[in-house]
Chain A
């Protein structure tokens, strides 16, 4: 039986990294990710985790060290947040195009300036196109589970891509929640040994990261994109197997009270739990409101998403990130694009809130639904609206 414990979200992540018997952790501490790497450093120092802990001088170096360790076939983990993720930016693309199955937890944080250590999704949205598999966790249990799943999926020889597990800074990373801690025997059953097919090894030398002149670069990118699209099957299988071993079910798109809903809220990450409270309130008032949560952000689950929202009239999307001068929040703009060619589709309303750690309450979600319906009916004079701004 899995043990029920009270545990901080960050420690739920590092416990999963320990249970996965990770070989290398290369990381640089940054708020609000610090507790993850602090606790891992402690586990390694105390001999509880037999891994190399590489303290580095920056996040750029952290990800570069991860490339090296993953390239020799070592199970590799790192974690970062906000500015740290942006400093890693160029190396993220190298990890995915070199097909190195690094697992990274991102404790989502706003970007400077003004300097903010608090949570939003500006950091991950800026690396949206970097070719990593990206998922969002809603609570500490999901963070714990998804890290283990990330190793299994990323290292699968049908996948071989890095995986990013997003957990909201502070709201998840620093909150203690009840958690079913996975048993080592179950973890060993679920997660096979990492066998990278072409590792760096003196017995069989290979060249990694060679240059690609114009005659081959396009072919290299096509191969990467096809391989990335094909990860979906293993992603789903990874969740099916997870349910068999641990009894908890995950899906690319998840819903709450969405089946007969006329108006749908769309959220990602920890705010989904708050939004579900608002849905309960509005259901009591007789409003047909439901919630859609995107778990799998990349590769984007187009088919599941379209199927889920097709019968709704209005889809109100809450983005925790601004696209300055753009067509709305990044999530709203993507789902609009995903729905544009569909015969049956809801009107998409783009709202932006929860920036830089600003709380979003159930009342705020109720306002979003009311305002969303108003915009859907009468239109708005801007591409998107920011909610909760003092005037």
Chain B
């Protein structure tokens, strides 16, 4: 998307492909990112339920993870986790 030139624009910047917003990386707004202690997680799914961006993933074992392409780092998952196994750390620390 980032290599589109002005000649590639549809009339009035109309978007003709439905769902193209999926390709837009909202994760780069993030200043804090979640990390998780997988040993403590009880797979209760509270993080999945509360995430306002649907950026919590579930793998085949029912383990929850993060989709950092969309995660904006709001920290609601860390706040709501009953086992406190999610921690928000500054992006620079990684």
Contacts and interface: CB of A to CB of B under 8 A. Distances in A.
Nearest to A99: B12
A206 B6 contact: no
Contact of B15 (A100, A160, A206, A223): A206
What is the predominant secondary structure among interface residues of chain A facing chain B? Answer: loop
Contacts of A210: 13, 15, 21
A317 B53 CA distance: 58
A209 B13 CA distance: 7
A275 to B, nearest CB: 39
A99 B16 contact: no
B12 A97 contact: yes
Nearest to A160: B11
Interface in A77-117: 97-100
B94 interface: no
A98 B15 contact: no
Interface in A183-202: 197-198
A221 to B, nearest CB: 8
A222 B12 contact: no
A198 B13 contact: no
Given A100-B12, A197-B11, A208-B12, A223 B6 contact: yes
Contacts of A160: 11-12
Interface string B11-35: 1111110101100100000000000
> Which are the 7 A-B pairs with shortest beta-carbon distances?
A99-B12, A207-B15, A222-B6, A219-B6, A98-B12, A223-B9, A223-B6
Interface of A: 97-100, 160, 197-198, 205-210, 212-213, 215-216, 218-220, 222-223, 226-227
Given A98-B14, A207-B15, A219-B4, 12 more contacts: A98-B13, A205-B18, A207-B18, A207-B20, A208-B12, A208-B14, A208-B15, A210-B13, A218-B6, A219-B8, A222-B6, A223-B9
